[in-house]
């Protein structure tokens, strides 16, 4: 028995059995070789519910090793309940070192945000993905979307974008706005705010995406061209609250809007808690 | 000044302690045992076992106790446990024809070889609350034993097949059936894959879909050729032995529905079979499964497929309650980052809309 | 037969991370901790990749002899198949034409074969100029032991994208990867 098996309290290191890890690892490698293409994989039933990060958890579990330092964020924060729960899961089943500091982390699992601090070469960012198919609101049938991806036919998405602009003067999606990867595949960036989309472009880190319930894995290698779907005369314009952070004063970070009283009072604070903490020093 | 909310860790710990307390309920009352659930809440246990895809009534009972009686949560516990078990081999197909049936009825024949066996059923009970059950320790009338036991019970669909009136089932090519717990489903799906998904699908979802086929959404005119409940042996054939050995028996419910098929250029008019097989005793679900199985055969039979129950992507991707509950309930997770983007987006669109209206009014006034 | 990895769980994890880095950063040379008791025909890097990625679910093909086939069958449990059906191929001699391997379909390009190829030398910092996803400006890699005209034929095959094969180039305990997206310039 591997020493790692005993350490994890009866379960294999990082919970998944080795055959499952191999299957996921093969999918990750093919994902990197075909940037933005969704690889079907035999997602397992995890001890956390589908839709709560099981895809990200399976990817992280297949990547993680004893030399890693793991950071888990949800909505940009380390102390949101689901982030706490997932971090505890990995501490329990992998005995892995954890951190809340973006700069120290080697593997970061995230839901709905990309950290503000630019990621570096030694880092892997693992996204939890609820709906990997960027076309699902336009075409719910998987057999059909698979065909459209094969043809590189994204006219449905472009048409929707055109209609939004014609009707309301701007794109309809403020988060989970689809991106083109390396000029070939339309990809869901997961429900990150549009503000984070540009961080996908030529990132120094490896970006991995796991969708457990939908049983798909995809990836973006470092330095890959990633562009938000838009038109030349209507470039993609991410939304950002204009107010500075009430804690650190930052104007260019993504904010949470907090309702502070029932008379319309509002406070804006950084969504990325580590970034805010660093700014306050 | 605003102070950020912290302490997710402490909140989770406290919530779990509270949950354990609620689960136990009033401590003045004796704690229920998993064995009591297994014996006295047998149908709830069977449902959990079937939807949890783990044929162990003791574990299903434990899961039901842990989940405070929430069947879907219990199925989820069982699935997550099952996923950690080693896999040794696939069993031989169950021989339901050799079943020791406790219950066996056919709606298509008045009498038939092996007979109609009503067995332990709610059918023909009057649904009046039995207040005697509120008092414990009531004497139990002994069930009447059939001294002769049941003889062999050949399957009803076999009689029709003998006459050439039941469509022949041709085994799928390509050896071992697919395993949707290991491989993601792909579409179009084979019938073994569909049956697998339906067998562990949500009872309520299948019931509604099956019902819809009776109401014109799918054009089915089904007959219950046979419904049987009982124990069957599970056989495996280890490669080193070269012959099959029994590893125990399981209770299953099997339903075979006969539906007329108008025929095509290649195939004569005949009956087709909708098939339902559910671990444990669950006639409602076995029947619903048979109805949906038949509806999903539309493509193979060249029938027009317009109803929800005939749409295999729709049925198979939404029948799993562990997947469904996870995604529906994930809406409870914080979404304030995406909501914030949505808020800013709405404010921006709204400003533009108002500006345009003012401009339009001005124009009209001039 | 001796065990492959000293620690099957953690050594496989370390090797996978190296493989992931290799595939994410084409042409960057990675180093592995060599497994024990490997057949003479296999480089430690190729053996480590096999132990990490190949199992009963991945049919494989190799040009290597009985000893290597037996070792792969024992350690990985992978069935031996013709090259056109292989998920993984291990090439220890001369590289056959890549068209021998499967390249997947436009709907399932991930079915393209992963070819593990053994070479004499991998020298970073000189030789080929590599461009494409995973590469900030350019990566340099000199590869000794590939057939004449490899770079030209590789480039011709890129037109089939997303279909294609992906390569791991192994030499001793070192390896690098060429995913199907990489562009190779021989003289730059």
Q: Where are the beta strands (DSSP E) in A61-122?
A: 69-74, 97-98, 107-111
Strand, helix or coil for residue B53: coil
- Chain B neighbors (3+ CB pairs < 8 Å): A
Q: Do the beta carbons of residue B232 and residue B250 sit within 8 Å? A: yes
Strand, helix or coil for residue B308: helix
Here the tokens at position B280 are 């444990």
pLDDT in the model for residue A6? 47
Closest CA of chain C from A153, distance in Å: 12
Q: Which domains, and CATH codes, for chain C?
A: 8-185 (3.40.50.11310)
Average pLDDT over residues A255-272: 90
Q: Tell me if B342 and A176 make a contact (CB, 8 A cut-off).
A: no
Tens-digit pLDDT profile for residues B196-236: 999 999 999 999 999 999 998 987 789 999 999 999 999 99
Q: Do the beta carbons of residue A179 and residue A158 sit within 8 Å? A: no
Judge residue B167's burial from the number of C-beta atoms within 10 Å of its C-beta, 0-12 exposed, 13-18 middle, 19 or more buried.
buried
C163 at A interface, C-beta within 8 A: no
Average pLDDT over residues C51-68: 95
Q: Do the beta carbons of residue C166 and residue C177 sit within 8 Å? A: yes
Q: From A125, A107, A113, select the one nearest A77 (Cα to Cα).
A: A113
DSSP-H helix ranges across chain A: 3-7, 18-33, 54-63, 81-94, 142-151, 155-168, 197-200, 273-280
HSE of B299, CA atoms in CB hemisphere, 13 A: 13
Other CB atoms within 10 A of residue B272 CB: 21
- Chain C neighbors (3+ CB pairs < 8 Å): A
Here the tokens at position C154 are 């590789």
pLDDT in the model for residue C94? 92
DSSP-H helix ranges across chain B: 8-24, 34-40, 42-51, 57-66, 71-82, 156-162, 191-199, 203-214, 283-296, 298-301, 312-318, 321-329, 336-365
Rounded (10°) angle between helices B8-24 and A81-94:
80
- Indicate which of A33, A123, A203, A227 best probes the interface with C, i.e. most C CBs within 10 Å of its own CB: A33
Q: Given pLDDT bands bounded at 50, 70 and 90, which one contains residue A249? A: very high
Size of interface A-B (CB pairs under 8 A): 149
Interface of B with A in 320-359 (CB under 8 A): 322-323, 325-330, 333-338, 340-345, 348-349, 352-353
Interface of A with B in 147-206 (CB under 8 A): 168-170, 172, 174-176, 191-195
Active-site choice (A56, A210, A212, A245): A245
Tens-digit pLDDT profile for residues A166-179: 888 888 788 999 99
**Which chain B residues are Cβ-neighbours of A192 within 8 angstroms?**
337
State whether the Cα torsion C35-C41-C46-C51 is positive or negative: negative
Here the tokens at position A106 are 């080697």
Distance, in Å, from the CA atom of A126 to the CA atom of A56, rounded to the nearest integer, reads: 6
Is residue C105 predicted with pLDDT exceeding 70? yes
Catalytic annotation present for A245 = yes
Catalytic annotation present for A248 = yes
Is residue A59 predicted with pLDDT exceeding 70? yes
pLDDT in the model for residue A1? 44
Q: Do the beta carbons of residue C27 and residue C132 sit within 8 Å? A: no
**Which chain B residues are Cβ-neighbours of A141 within 8 angstroms?**
187, 313
B176 at A interface, C-beta within 8 A: no
pLDDT in the model for residue B146? 61
Is residue A199 predicted with pLDDT exceeding 80? yes
Closest CA of chain B from A36, distance in Å: 19
Strand, helix or coil for residue C122: strand
Closest CA of chain B from A269, distance in Å: 9
Q: Do the beta carbons of residue C95 and residue C121 sit within 8 Å? A: no
Contacts of C110 (CB under 8 A, 6+ apart): A27, A30, A31, A34, A37, A39, C104
Here the tokens at position B53 are 């895809």
Distance, in Å, from the CA atom of B245 to the CA atom of B238, rounded to the nearest integer, reads: 8
Q: Do the beta carbons of residue A65 and residue C9 sit within 8 Å? A: no
CA A5 to chain centroid, in Å, comes to 29
Catalytic annotation present for A276 = yes
Q: What φ, ψ does residue B252 adopt, rounded to 5°?
A: -135, 160
Distance, in Å, from the CA atom of B157 to the CA atom of C162, rounded to the nearest integer, reads: 49
What is the reported pTM? 0.92
Tens-digit pLDDT profile for residues C34-53: 999 999 999 999 999 999 99
Strands C30-31 and A255-259: unpaired
A4 at C interface, C-beta within 8 A: yes
- Domain edges within chain A: 2-138+146-228, 240-281
**Which chain A residues are Cβ-neighbours of C9 within 8 angstroms?**
2, 4-5, 12-13, 18
Interface of A with B in 235-254 (CB under 8 A): 239-241, 246-247, 254
Region of residue A152 (phi > 0: left; psi between -120 and 50: alpha; otherwise: beta)? left
* DSSP state string for B60-119: HHHHHHHTTT-HHHHHHHHHHHHTTS----PPPPP-GGG-EEEEEE-SS-SS-TT--B--
Q: Which CATH superfamily is domain A2-138+146-228 in?
A: Bacterial phosphonate metabolism protein PhnH (3.40.50.11310)
Here the tokens at position C155 are 């480039």
How far lies A10's CA from each of A1, A2, A5, A67, B201, in Å? 11, 11, 7, 21, 30
Judge residue B82's burial from the number of C-beta atoms within 10 Å of its C-beta, 0-12 exposed, 13-18 middle, 19 or more buried.
middle
Q: Do the beta carbons of residue A68 and residue A107 sit within 8 Å? A: yes
Walking along chain B (366 residues) 10 residues at a time, the average pLDDT comes out as: 66 92 95 97 97 96 97 96 85 91 92 89 90 81 65 86 88 79 90 95 97 88 94 92 93 95 86 96 97 94 92 96 95 91 89 91 87
Is residue C1 predicted with pLDDT exceeding 70? no
Tens-digit pLDDT profile for residues B141-196: 777 766 555 678 888 898 888 888 999 888 877 677 888 988 898 899 999 999 99
């Amino acid at each position: 028995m591997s020493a790692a098996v005993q350490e994890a309290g009866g379960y294999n290191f990082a919970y998944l059995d080795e055959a499952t890890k191999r299957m996921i690892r093969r999918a990750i490698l093919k994902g990197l070789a075909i940037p933005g293409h969704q690889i079907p994989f035999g997602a397992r039933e995890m001890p956390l519910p589908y839709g709560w990060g099981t895809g990200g958890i399976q990817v992280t579990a297949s990547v993680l090793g004893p030399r890693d330092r793991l950071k888990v964020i949800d909505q940009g924060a380390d102390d949101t309940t689901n982030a706490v729960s997932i971090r505890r899961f990995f501490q329990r089943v992998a005995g892995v070192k954890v951190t809340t500091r973006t700069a120290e982390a080697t593997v970061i699992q995230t839901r709905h945000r990309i950290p503000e601090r630019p990621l570096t070469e030694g880092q892997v960012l693992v996204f939890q993905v609820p709906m990997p198919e960027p076309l699902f609101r336009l075409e719910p049938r998987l057999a059909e979307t698979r065909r459209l991806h094969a043809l590189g036919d994204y006219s449905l998405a472009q048409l929707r974008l055109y209609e939004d602009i014609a009707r309301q003067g701007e794109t309809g999606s403020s988060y989970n706005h689809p991106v083109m990867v390396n000029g070939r595949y339309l990809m869901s960036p997961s429900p990150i705010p549009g503000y984070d989309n540009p961080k996908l472009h030529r990132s120094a880190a490896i970006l991995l995406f796991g969708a457990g319930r939908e049983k798909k894995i995809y990836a973006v290698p470092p330095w890959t061209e990633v562009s938000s779907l838009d038109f030349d005369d209507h470039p993609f314009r991410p939304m950002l609250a204009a107010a500075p952070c009430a804690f650190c004063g930052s104007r260019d970070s993504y904010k949470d809007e907090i309702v502070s009283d029932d008379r319309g009072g509002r406070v804006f604070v950084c969504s990325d808690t580590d970034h805010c903490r660093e700014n306050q020093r | 000044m605003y102070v950020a909310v912290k302490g997710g860790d402490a909140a989770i710990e406290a919530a779990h302690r509270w949950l354990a307390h609620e689960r136990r309920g009033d401590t003045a009352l004796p704690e229920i045992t998993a064995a009591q659930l297994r014996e006295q809440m047998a149908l709830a246990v069977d449902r959990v076992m079937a939807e949890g895809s783990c044929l162990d009534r003791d574990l299903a009972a434990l899961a039901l106790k842990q989940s405070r009686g929430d069947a879907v949560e219990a199925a989820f516990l069982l699935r997550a446990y099952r996923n950690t078990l080693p896999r040794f081999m696939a069993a031989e197909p169950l021989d339901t024809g050799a079943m020791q049936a406790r219950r066996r009825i056919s709606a298509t024949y008045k009498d038939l070889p092996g007979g109609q066996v009503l067995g332990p059923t709610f059918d023909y009970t009057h649904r009046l609350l039995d207040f005697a059950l509120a008092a414990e320790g009531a004497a139990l009338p002994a069930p009447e034993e059939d001294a002769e036991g049941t003889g062999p019970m050949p399957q009803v669909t076999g009689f029709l097949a003998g006459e050439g009136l039941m469509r022949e089932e041709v085994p799928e090519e390509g050896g071992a059936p697919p395993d949707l717990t290991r491989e993601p489903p792909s579409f179009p799906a084979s019938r073994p894959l569909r049956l697998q998904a339906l067998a562990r699908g949500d009872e309520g979802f299948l019931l509604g879909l099956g019902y819809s086929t009776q109401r014109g959404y799918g054009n089915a005119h089904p007959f219950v050729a046979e419904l049987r409940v009982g124990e069957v042996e599970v056989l495996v054939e280890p490669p080193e032995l070269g012959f099959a050995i029994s590893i125990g028996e399981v209770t299953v419910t099997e339903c075979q529905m006969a539906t007329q098929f108008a025929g095509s250029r290649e195939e004569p008019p005949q009956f087709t079979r909708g098939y339902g097989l559910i671990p444990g005793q669950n006639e409602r679900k076995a029947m619903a499964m048979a109805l949906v199985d038949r509806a999903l055969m539309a493509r193979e039979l060249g029938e027009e497929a317009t109803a929800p129950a005939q749409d295999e992507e729709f049925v198979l991707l939404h029948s799993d309650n562990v997947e469904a509950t996870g995604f529906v309930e994930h809406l409870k997770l914080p979404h304030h980052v995406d909501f914030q983007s949505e808020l800013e987006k709405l404010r921006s669109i709204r400003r533009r809309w108002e500006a345009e209206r003012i401009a339009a009014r001005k124009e009209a006034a001039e | 037969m001796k065990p492959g990895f000293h620690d099957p769980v953690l050594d496989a994890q370390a090797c996978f991370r190296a493989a992931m880095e290799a595939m994410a950063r084409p042409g960057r040379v990675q180093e592995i901790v060599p497994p024990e008791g490997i057949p003479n025909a296999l480089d430690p890097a190729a053996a480590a990749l096999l132990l990490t990625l190949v199992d009963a679910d991945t049919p494989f093909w190799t040009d290597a002899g009985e000893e290597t086939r037996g070792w792969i069958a024992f350690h990985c449990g992978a069935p031996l198949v013709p090259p056109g059906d292989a998920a993984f191929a291990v090439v220890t001699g001369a590289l056959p034409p890549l068209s021998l391997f499967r390249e997947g379909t436009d709907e399932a390009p991930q079915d393209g074969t992963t070819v593990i190829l053994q070479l004499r030398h991998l020298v970073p910092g000189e030789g080929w100029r590599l461009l494409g996803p995973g590469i900030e400006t350019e990566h340099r890699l000199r590869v000794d032991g590939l057939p004449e005209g490899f770079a030209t034929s590789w480039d011709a095959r890129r037109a089939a994208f997303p279909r294609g094969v992906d390569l791991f180039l192994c030499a001793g305990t070192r390896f690098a990867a060429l995913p199907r997206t990489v562009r190779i310039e021989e003289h730059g």
